[in-house]
Structure 1
Amino acid sequence: MYKSTESACKAACVSVRVFCHRSLCLSAALCARPPRPKPREVPHISGLPRISYAERMHYVPGLAKPELQQWERGWKDPNHNTSPPPEHMELYRDKPCYIYNQRTNPLEGVRQALWLTKAKLVSGLPDQILSLAEDPANQIKDQDERVQNAIRHARLWDTTESQPSRERFCPSLLYNLLHLCGGLQVTHPALSRRILAYKYILAASWSRGEDLFQIRGQNGLLLNSMTPLPAMAGPEEIQSTAEHVLETFYPISPTIDLQSTNVYQLKNSTGFRDDYPYPHAHTLYVMEAGNTPRLLPEQLRAKMIMFSFGNALARARALYGNECGVLEKPIVVQSVATNGHLFQFVVFQLNTMSLEEDIGVKNLAWVDADQPLYDFARVQPLIKKKVVQIPAGLSGYQPETFKKFLALYLNGAA
């Protein structure tokens, strides 16, 4: 009995080995199959026309494919428009220009943005804004409760799904917070001298060393004002920035990840007409949701610095022209970015338009990074091993983050 079982096992093992050996041989044969040869290029003899099937009006084996000339319609068809080579375009330049747009993802993040804008980094928000946040006269009635209801509306109430998408709750939360801030117009009448603009196109050009740079395109929701923002740094602090040494990241080029093009126009435009009643950019709101690619927090803060600088530079070009050094009245532009959970705050002050060299007065950029508005907001609780890890509803509300958001909104009106 035992001998027959042993012999059956040996036979089964032999059959498995033969099958595996055949499978390996088959796979090896398939892998060893030579690649298909590329089609042979037909030689072209100058002065000797080929015999093609053009006259027969159909394909004929053995005859060459006819070389047909491009048919000209005689009118411009936008659906079949072929652009000329870049060298033949009217705006072609020999010197390339590096473009920073909404989809740019700079490798070095904030350090690269500081070098491009010739700016000095200051951690935290300015003292003037922090004092606005702590003043009880600038707070909303039942502020914490109303802000939490705004979060619940965006994350919990405005959905029928188990968890709403970021493309839905991020804009909803931002608009809810702006609506709460706008309710202070009764006590702060200067808030009525502002307006929100969306899908405006910005363009700002400058030189940095031997390279040309340009910021252009749409960049977010912009709060415009009839009056400019006050300067955050005084004359003494501005002059002290001349001793600051810009950080370099050699051997990485400062133009890395920027689009290089030879077809461009050196244009400076705020995106609005000259007679626009709200010419001053106040705060730029960037939402990390929608068609734009999702950026890391470091790259998102770099985007905020670059577009705040672009709005300030375009306004300075309109006021003082292209030939201007240190500004008598610095231009301040704020920026707020959020993904529906974390908030990033940037205040940029343009002190000088002399951006070619690294020496001299620098611009200033205050950055307050990664400020959570809450910890969790879940429609359903997170349960693991019959233990509730994260309860349903809103938890971990951070009131200090909204105070900073409100202080930036009230800056210049309180």
Structure 2
Amino acid sequence: MLALRWPAKRVGRWAPCGQRRTKFSYGPRTPRGPLPRTPWTVRGPPPGAKLPWYLQNVPSAREQLPELDVVTYEGKLYRVPWMARPKFPKWERGWHDPRHDGPPPPEEMPAYKQRPCFICHQRTRLLEGLKQALWLTKTKLIEGLPPQILDIMNDTAHQLEEEDERVQNVISHARFWVNTDVDIAEDTYCPVLLEGLLHLCRTMTTKYPSLAKRMMAQECRVAAAWERESILLQVRGPGGKLLNAMKPLQPIASKDEILATENHTLETFYPVAPTIDLQEVNVYEAKNDTGFREGYPYLYPHTIYFPICNNKFRMRPEHLQANMMMFAFGNALAKAKQLYGDEPRVLENPIVVQCVGTNGQCFQFMLFQLNTTDLDPSNGVKNLAWVDTDQLLYEDARSRPEIRKKVVVIPAGIHGYQRDTFRKFLAFYLHGVV
């Protein structure tokens, strides 16, 4: 009978000195050198490398090396990922086509100015969030809602009949019934939820006929320009859904509270520049426009609604709060300059604008009171803003139950409904009427 002998297992590799090097053996570890460089025909010699002997006596040899030219895929007529993209000359048509004319240089445009302007628009994301918006608008922040809103919110006479059931039906319509998709996207349910809540608020018109003297404007464009410590700033563009009224909102703070803001010191965020994330342009027109023509009966801005329903340009809560303050300030400033002129002054009748922002689940509430248009210096009277942030209307909404080990852990439906959030929403809508 033949005996089979298995070959010995190799436990290591031989070192150049003849010593075996393994995990449990002796001998120095052989260092592994760097990988070889790419050939000169692709990447070129390393910086400071010595030229070959046949090019050492040639003047300007490095500039005349054919190996240093960029290798492109021009001759192959198709794209090669590891080759550079060729640069082709501009094709000339042989005749003038005005549809393909590029824009003129900025210096040749009639609205070009040497002084730059920093613009805040709908998609601006301020790095420092609400803190930066407070400095730009010369505003003092007050946490919580003012008593005027809380009184309307807590009064049972200003509430809807069967309020909880009707609000939950609006949530179910936006999250479950608006289409046949199993998981409805935020772009779909956020505007539907906001419009459903506004419809519930409009049903109070039979009880308060003054609510009929309002008008909702979609994508209303506002323009307001001001100077802040010798920096020219602007708020421009559409800012969501704007609710206008025939009569202005009454001031929230009294005259004594307005004068007390002179002692408030604005918080800075050095070394970050106050204009960071603002668009710097040299072609602009410094104008103030409310977005409506003369003779429009609904003259005064009441509430701005910000639905965050664009996944491509989704904002964090701090960015949304900053944009709400900037556009509330812009609408108030444009109206103040239309009423009192462009001369900086402390307003006799402050202008109040409200803001509500939501992503379909979480709500942000803000009231802004413009007290002064003298915004260049940091001293003097400040504007005021009341902010109530991160208020959930509901905690979760599930179209399908969560099942674990054949046991329903979380049933389908709406969970964690918060009635106070809708009451704040309704109080903002009824403010100025009750």
Q: TM-score range by the shorter chain?
A: 0.7 to 0.9
Aligned pair in 2 of structure 1 residues 66, 308: CA closer, same or farther (>3 Å)?
A: closer
Q: Is the contact between residue 102 and residue 292 of structure 1 (CA under 8 Å) also seen in structure 2?
A: no
**Which of the pair has the greater relative contact order for Cα pairs under 8 Å at 6+ separation?**
1
Q: Give, in whole Å, the separation in 2 of the partners of 1:2 and 1:286.
A: 86
Inter-partner Cα distance in structure 2 for 1:191 and 1:143: 19
1:36 paired residue among 42, 50, 53: 42
Query: Cα–Cα, structure 1 residues 96 and 387, in superposed 2: closer, same or farther, change >3 Å?
Result: farther
Q: Does 1:87 align with 2:107?
A: yes
User: What's 2:383 paired with?
Assistant: 363
**Rounded Cα–Cα distance in structure 1 between residues aligned with 2:41 and 2:297:** 69
Select 1:100's aligned residue among 106, 114, 120: 120
Given candidates 345, 349, 362, the residue that maps to 1:325 is 345
Q: Does 1:217 align with 2:233?
A: no
State yes or no: 1:404 paired with 2:424: yes
For 1:62, the equivalent position in structure 2 comes to none
Alignment partner, residue 260 of structure 1: 280
Letter in 2 for 1:130: L
% same residue: 50
Alpha-carbon distance, 1:388 to partner:
3.7
Structure 2 CA distance for aligned equivalents of residues 197 and 6 of structure 1? 87
Q: CA 1:255/1:70 → structure 2, altered by over 3 Å: closer, same or farther?
A: farther
CA distance in 1, matches of 2:312, 2:433: 32
**Paired residue secondary structure (2:235):** strand
Give the total of aligned pairs: 375
How far is 1:67 from its partner? 9.5
Indicate how the Cα distance of structure 1 residues 35 and 143 shifts in structure 2: closer, same or farther if over 3 A, else same.
farther
Query: How many Å separate the matches in 1 of 2:90 and 2:186?
Result: 53
1:294 counterpart (305, 314, 328): 314
Deviation at 1:254, TM superposition (A): 0.4
Greater Rg, structure 1 or structure 2? 2
Residue 6 (structure 1) shift: 3.0
Q: Which amino acid aligns with 2:241?
A: L
Cα distance in structure 2, aligned partners of 1:99 and 1:41: 46
Q: TM-score, normalised by structure 1?
A: 0.85
Aligned position for 1:382: 402
Change (3 A) 1:323 1:292: farther
Change (3 A) 1:352 1:71: farther
> Which of 158, 162, 173 is residue 138 of structure 1 equivalent to?
158
CA deviation vs aligned residue, 1:162-216 (integer Å, no higher than 9, x gap): 2100000000000000000000001101100001101221110000011100000
Secondary structure in structure 2 of the residue aligned to 1:5: coil
Q: CA deviation at 1:92?
A: 0.9
Secondary structure of the corresponding residue to residue 6 of structure 2: helix
Distance 1:278 1:28, change over 3 A: same
Q: Matches of 1:83 and 1:134 in 2, distance apart?
A: 58
Which residue is 1:22 aligned to? Answer: none
SS of 1:383 mapped into structure 2: strand
Secondary structure at the counterpart of residue 252 of structure 1: coil
The alpha-carbon distance between structure 1 residues 93 and 3, as it changes in their structure 2 partners (threshold 3 A), is: farther
For the pair 1:187 / 2:188, whether they are aligned, the reply is: no
The structure-2 alpha-carbon separation of the partners of 1:393 and 1:234, relative to structure 1 and needing over 3 Å to count, comes to: same
Gaps of 5+ in 2: 15-31, 45-61, 65-87
Cα distance change on mapping 1:389 and 1:358 into 2, 3 Å: farther
Q: Structure 1 residues 6 and 400 mapped into 2: Cα distance closer, same or farther (>3 Å)? A: same
- Does 2:234 correspond to 1:233? no
CA contact (8 A) 1:103 1:292 kept: no
For 1:67 and 1:180, locate their aligned partners in 2 and report how far apart those are by CA, in whole Å.
60
> Which residue of structure 1 lines up, in the alignment, with residue 187 of structure 2?
167
SS at match of 1:6: coil
- Are the structure 2 counterparts of residues 292 and 319 from structure 1 closer, same or farther at C-alpha, using a change threshold of 3 Å? farther
Question: Which residue pairs with 1:351 in the alignment?
Answer: 371
**Amino acid in structure 2 at the alignment position of 1:352:** T
1:272 corresponds to 2:272: no
Q: Which residue of 2 aligns with 1:153?
A: 173
The question of 1:5 aligning with 2:6 is answered: yes
Given candidates 295, 303, 307, the residue that maps to 2:323 is 303
For 1:126, which of 127, 131, 146 is the aligned residue?
146
